[in-house]
Structure formats: C-alpha cells, structure tokens
Amino acid sequence: MEKIKLEIVTAEKLIYSEVVDSIVAPGITGELGILPEHANLVTILDTGVLTITKDGEETDMAVSGGYMEVQPHSVIILADAAERADEIDIDRAEAARARAEEAAKNVGDLDAQLAAEAALKRSLTRLKVAKKRSNRPRKPAQPIA
C-alpha cells in the first residue's frame, strides 16, 4: 500500500514527521481526507481534530488553525498550534473551557465575542482529543478477512 509523508510544524518546533497511510484534517469548509497520490492542494485549516492513520492505527491531534499543503507524496501542515492527545492535560483543558465559556457570556463587543468563541472551540477540541484517546482501546482492531 502506498504511503504519504506528513510533517506538522508550528512556529516553535517540528511536531510530527512520519510516513503515514492517510490524514483527515479540519478544513474551514469541512473535513478533508488525504490519501497518497492526492491532487495538489493548499488550504486553510480550522480548529479541530486531525486524525492520522499509520499501519492501521489512528492518532488524533488537536490543531488550531494554520495551513495545509498537499502534494501527491507529501503533506505539510503549518499549524498555529498542534498537540498530541497524550500531551493534553485534561484538568487544564477543562479550566480553559470554563474560562472561555465565562468570557463568552460577559463580552460586549464583537471582537471580544469572536475571540471568546475561538478560545472555547480550541478548548473543546483539546478535550475531545484527550477524552477520545482515553476511551480508545490500546491496540487497533484487526480487519475481518
């Protein structure tokens, strides 16, 4: 089976660099599924869950915006922020969610409202990724032949 090279980079560091089977990324108009030999594409990413499949095992990451460049044999994601599920502290993410919800209730101007909603979306995405990992079986299911 063909593979595709994936690199995820933030302003601070290289987050991920592996050859993978597929990628599902949160585009601004919906989820984008990327397989090897995909057509060239450059798109803006939304805040959401990035799912990477490698050797039948899924890895989820929380991404907060950025860009994705797709070529037939490689994908580069320049993310504003990206975290693996095992890097997310659930207690801190819950506290951030509570702060964002409170801020969304108590803002007057549109810019502050949009910033509060973006913070809430980021915290909910981080919680989703962290909780999904904790509920996932440790070994991937074997395909039925």
Structure letter (DSSP) for residue 85: G
Residues 99 and 71 in one domain: no
pLDDT at 99: 81
For residue 65, give the nearest of 23, 121, 18 by alpha carbon: 121
Rounded to an integer, the average pLDDT of 118-129 is: 80
Q: Is residue 52 included in any domain, yes or no?
A: yes
75 inside domain: yes
| 66 plus 28 within the same structural domain | yes
Has residue 140 got a pLDDT over 50? no
Q: What is the pTM of this model?
A: 0.76
Residue 97 shares a structural domain with residue 111: yes
Report yes or no on 65 lying in a domain: yes
What is the token pair recorded at 41? 């594409």
Q: How far apart are the first and last CA of the chain?
A: 17
Residue 133's pLDDT is what? 63
Q: What is the pLDDT of residues 69-103, one digit of tens each?
A: 999 999 999 999 998 888 877 888 888 878 878 87
The number of domains in the chain is: 2
What is the residue range of 44's domain? 4-85
> Residue 27's Cα: distance from chain center in Å?
10
**pLDDT tens for each residue of 31-44:** 999 999 999 999 99
Residue 144, domain member (yes or no): no
Enumerate residues 6+ apart whose C-beta is below 8 A from 96: 119, 122, 123, 126
